[in-house]
Amino acid sequence: MSFKAKLFIEDQERNILDAHLLYHRFSDLNGKPTSKPIGGPLEFTIESTGNDSLFYENMFSPTVQCQGEIIFYKRDGFSTLFKIEFANAHFLGLEENFSASGDEPLYMNITIGWGIIKVRGVVFEEYWNPNNPFVEQAAPTEIVEEEPLILESYFENEDGEKVSGVKKDQKVYLVLKTENMAGKSVDIDLSDHPTVFEYQGQPLANNIMQAHSITADVMKIELTTIKKNSQ
């Protein structure tokens, strides 16, 4: 079984019948290179179909550039042998042929001048090429925001002992344990307690500490009880 090749260009797929690509350098009489490598146009022959207007549109446009690839398959017809990838390319020639005899009665010869080409993984570009679409861009880092949690809250006295209840005119510390909440703010609702709390010298309206900033996973908030809650 012979090798198989296909052209993929602008969502179109065509069977390749023949392909040709040449690089060369100028040299002196002794065979020493006197120029940088020069890439010739990519020439290939495809089977014509009834939907080939794309190729004529590219040929007749003075500005349209195209991008595509030719994939050469191994003898099994499925595994990729190598690729010729081209981009920032212009159609330089188009010739459509018909013959009533032979194995290929209708076929198209196309010549493409490319700005950049990648053959067997090796990239070569012309001096006028505007960009390199073959540069693999790193995937953006996905930032997973973990769920903020209030794990536990309780009161401690001035000796650092956990207390279940508070008394009038008592200094206590509200211990707040959180996770993934640093930099956020929360409303701390103490309205279910029978005493009114004072924070930084000011009574808490409705015993609610509004928009309190969380700066650490474990915080101790100093409070003072001042009187019985009338509610």
CATH number at residue 112: 2.30.110.20
109 shares a domain with 51: yes
Give yes or no: residues 47 and 97 share one domain.
yes
Please tell me which residue, 164 or 62, carries the higher pLDDT value: 62
Domain final residue pick, 70, 92, 125: 125
25 assigned to some structural domain: yes
Same domain flag for 17 and 111: yes
Q: Are residues 87 and 9 in the same domain?
A: yes
List, for residues 104-125, the tens digit of each pLDDT value. 779 999 999 999 999 999 999 9
Q: In Å, what is the CA distance from 114 to each residue of 23, 41, 215, 218?
A: 13, 7, 58, 63
Domain assignment present for residue 164? The answer is yes
Of the candidates 93, 125, 157, which is a domain's last residue? Answer: 125
Do both 153 and 120 map to the same domain?
no
Amino acid at 18: D
Cα-Cα-Cα-Cα dihedral sign, residues 215, 220, 224, 225: positive
Assigned domain for 130 exists? no
Contact (Cβ atoms closer than 8 angstroms) between residue 44 and residue 12: no
**How large is the average pLDDT for residues 69-85?**
90
Indicate if the pLDDT at residue 87 is higher than 90: yes
Task: Please check whether residue 143 lies inside any domain of the structure.
Answer: no
Same domain? 29 vs 119: yes
Return the pLDDT at 8: 96
CA atoms of 77 and 213, how far apart (whole Å): 65
The reply to whether 137 falls in a domain is no
Q: Identify the domain boundary among 75, 109, 125.
A: 125
Domain carrying residue 211? 149-228
Rounded to whole angstroms, the Cα distance separating 186 from 191 reads 15
pLDDT-derived band at 36, boundaries 50, 70, 90: confident
Average pLDDT over the chain reads 87
What is the band of 184 on the pLDDT scale with cuts at 50, 70, 90? confident
Q: Are residues 61 and 161 in the same domain?
A: no
